[in-house]
Amino acid sequence: MVEEPRGLTAAEVAERVARGDVNADVDVKTRSIKQIVLENICTLFNAINVILAVFVLITGSYKNMLFMIVIACNVVIGIVQEIRSKITTDRLSIVAGSHATVVRDGERVEVPLHEIVRDDLIMLGRGDQVPADAVVVSGVADVNESLLTGESNLIKKAEGAELMSGSFVNAGTVRARVVHVGHENYAAKISAEAKQHKKVNSEIMNSLNRIIKFVSFVIFPVGALLFVRQFFSGEGVELNNAILSTVAALVGMIPEGLILLTSTVLAVAVIRLAKSKVLVQQLYCIETLARVDTLCLDKTGTITTGAMEVASIETVDGADEAELCRALASLAAADEDPNETAQAVAEHCAAGGFEPLPASRVVPFSSDKKWSGAAFGDRAYVMGAGKFVLGDAFAVVEEQAAALAATARVLLVARVEGFDEDGGIVGAPVPLGFVAIHDQIRSTAAETIGYFKDQGVTVNVISGDDPRTVAGIAAQVGVDGADAYVDATTLETPEQVAEAVERYHVFGRVKPEQKKQFVVALQKRGHVVAMTGDGVNDTLALKQADCSVAMAAGSDAARNVAQLVLVDNDFASMPKVVAEGRRSINNLQRSASLFLVKTLLSMTLAVLFVLLPWQYPFQPIQMTLISAFTIGIPSFVLALEPNKDRIRGRFLENVIVKSIPGAVCAVLAVLTVNVVGRLALGFDYGQVSTLCVLLTAWVGAMLIVRLSVPFTPIRTALLVVVVGGTVLGATLLHGLFGIVPFTLEMTVLFVACAVGVAAVFHWLYGVFGRWHGARLAKMA
């Protein structure tokens, strides 16, 4: 009689705890909430605006501080989004469980996972997740490592076999000795890398940051020169007026509303996608996915559902199909602890109406025999690997098995005379046929992959499964080049990986670290890469990708590290995400040009009025009027309209091209009013300022007209609101916005300038539009 293992003693456990050999979770700490709040508040962008607000406060003109409302909104949105991201990241835990059964002092006890120590003897049965890397001491079990390796087949683990933390016991019972704890565990190493803070790769964000950095570089020297020039000009400009004029110039340089617009548009996209059961965990990933040109798919859980199904049942020459189906139904029903394969066979046979025979004896599957069997009265059947069942006789049916194996896992079914006392086969097995089993392919997979192909996106399938199986499934769903596949175990150097990902589109036997290498290699070649997956083996690649998508039914690790989570586990939701991204980005590009007109105008005028002998013709409150009706309201309306056009060109270039005509015309109008109004007509500051404000609004309205073509009822209503709001501000609220009554001379000058800049604007808009269109065509 074999003595029951005693496991560790209490003293040995205490000794290991003392030296730190405990299965504690070694987290990579994310930023604290305090750090997130401080980093969002203490930015150069906010500092500039606060300094400007302080100067306005000194003058006592509180109405000119309204621009700080936008700054506050930016800060709040940024903090909320980052705290939300921190919470999801902190939940990242690959090993999900609370207790494990260990043997200590000869007794089985349950302990929390974090109290397991090195060399503990743990008991694992069906459905248990392996809490720490261990080595099997006794027993046999089928282990599912798909979340770690991506290979969907069950792995037989017997004495001496390694168990990886994060894998699941599918059938059987084993005792295993813990060899790694805490950060040494396989799953912990992946989790630690996945938790590293990743910088968002967003072209819009990067473009906005470049604008802000440039403005920050010039704003203070230009502001100082402008203030000195006005206050010491000898024209009698008071200190408060000089400050307000300077602040108006500097506030106009900063596109603070554009940042708020971007956050708002993407937040609306998040809400829309949530209705389609898509969880967005990082705002800017919507933009990134809209720009993706390469999509890397994990097979299991993405193209396939993760469930097993019978692909086909084929008889060998001379065998009876009815007997084959009856044998399959009986073998599946006889399995007392059916795994996913047996369950798939049972479901298929039940659907076919085949009643199983009652079993008189069952021979369970073993890793040595690689088959299972059962006796049913006067007959007996076995099912398993063909070579192990038939031996040399397998050569007769090997070609038929190989053909089926191209897309599925193939098991042979044979009739036998019976079994001996040790469970061995008696007599020569007679083959009846084969059952081919594969992962269930999603019904929408082919259509979804077809969509991406139509959009010019290259689709790569990267899996831990046998490359022949992966290639077969890829071919069924329409992946280009599926007939040429690569066994990733043959790729040993980064150079080989880089060459393979550029030439091939189907990869099998891919290790988790190789998936990340594939993504890196594609990114180095200039591709924008999206990665989808559902297992721990996908986590590193998901973290590396420009846009990462996980299935809700997958591992916690994959869900929490991904930027997008498909709640309904349906890959068919991806086109909706791409469409939403396109709507957001195309509309943002269109609306952003309105903001850049103000930025370019303010920067140019600030420099010019350092040289000109007159006071800067705008006050902060007047910039608020222009921003509200010719920039703010129109940009938000235009940014939320339907738009499914492909993303073309670079964000900043697309925006500036549409901004330059408006900025140039606004600058010409302001200079004309100052030169003619002050030198020829003798206008005072109030009259000049009024004309400059209204002519700038006029240029903004012309840009809105060009951006609104072709007109829709909403766009027509928008133009009415823009014109009506500006007129209302200039008449009924003229005191608030510093607008003085028109004289005949002012009216004549306004009409002349309005007609002139209209002609110049439409000419410039056409010239730049044709140049940019030709450039985009060349890039394509």
| Residue 92 confidence (pLDDT) | 42
Q: What pLDDT shows up at residue 634?
A: 82
Q: Given this model, what pLDDT does residue 763 score?
A: 95
755's enclosing H/E stretch is helix 744-779
Task: Assess whether pLDDT exceeds 90 at residue 65.
Answer: no
CB 633 within 8 A of CB 721: yes
Q: How far apart are CA 302 and CA 270, in angstroms?
A: 22
236 pLDDT band, cuts 50/70/90, is: low
- The tokens 């069952």 sit on which residue? 362
Backbone conformation region of residue 766, classed left if phi is above 0, alpha if psi is from -120 to 50, else beta: alpha
Percent of the chain scoring above 90 in pLDDT? 15
pLDDT of residue 266: 77
The pLDDT of residue 344 is 83
Q: How confident is the model at residue 348 (pLDDT cuts 50, 70, 90)?
A: confident
Residue of 711 and 461 predicted with greater confidence: 461
Domains and CATH numbers, the chain: 10-26+94-194 (2.70.150.10), 203-267+582-779 (1.20.1110.10), 272-304+442-577 (3.40.50.1000), 305-441 (3.40.1110.10)
Per-residue pLDDT band for 413 (boundaries 50, 70, 90) equals: very high
The predicted pLDDT at position 677 comes to 92
pLDDT confidence bin for 632, thresholds 50/70/90? confident
According to the model, what pLDDT value does residue 187 have? Answer: 65
> pLDDT-based confidence at 382, cuts 50/70/90?
very high
- Catalytic annotation on 298? yes
Q: Is the pLDDT of residue 30 over 70?
A: no
Please report where in the chains the tokens 């080049």 appear, as a residue: 481
Tell me the mean pLDDT in the region 94-103: 65
Residue 758, pLDDT score = 94
Choice among 222-236, 262-276, 453-467, 596-610 with the minimum mean pLDDT: 222-236
Rounded Cα–Cα distance for residues 497 and 410 (Å) = 30
298, 335, 466, 534: the catalytic one is: 298
pLDDT at 197 over 70: no
Q: Could you give the percent of the chain with pLDDT greater than 70?
A: 88
| C-alpha dist (Å) from residue 472 to 161, 386, 407, 443, 475 | 31, 21, 4, 16, 5
Helix (H) or strand (E) holding 493: none
For the whole prediction, is pTM greater than 0.75?
Answer: no
d(CA 15, CA 103): 16
- What is the structure's pLDDT at 87? 67
Q: For position 189, what pLDDT does the model report?
A: 67
Mean pLDDT of 86-113: 69
pLDDT at position 769 over 80: yes
Task: Tell me what pLDDT residue 97 has.
Answer: 45
On the question of pLDDT at 33 being above 60, the answer is yes
* pLDDT surpassing 70 at residue 147: no
Strand order in the sheet with 379-384: 304-315, 430-441, 409-416, 379-384, 371-376, 361-363
Which pLDDT score, from 0 to 100, does residue 113 have? Answer: 78
Q: What is the pLDDT of residues 490-507, one digit of tens each?
A: 888 888 888 898 889 999
C-alpha 239 chain-centroid distance: 52
Q: Is the pLDDT of residue 334 over 50?
A: yes
Assess whether pLDDT exceeds 70 at residue 727.
yes
pLDDT at 258 over 80: no
What is the arithmetic mean of pLDDT over 465-485?
Answer: 85
Specify the amino acid at residue 358.
Answer: P
Contact 22, 181 (CB under 8 A): yes
Q: Does the pLDDT of residue 193 top 60, yes or no?
A: no
Query: Which residue, chain included where needed, has tokens 């013709």?
Result: 617
**Between these two residues, 622 and 457, which has the higher pLDDT value?**
457
What residues pair up with 22 in beta bridges, in sequence order? 117
Q: Would you state the pLDDT for residue 412? A: 92
What number is the average pLDDT over the span 703-720? Answer: 87
Rounded mean pLDDT of 91-102?
Answer: 58
For residue 696, pLDDT over 70 is answered with yes
Predicted local distance difference test score (pLDDT) of residue 252:
72
Q: How does residue 21 score in pLDDT terms, banded at 50, 70 and 90?
A: confident
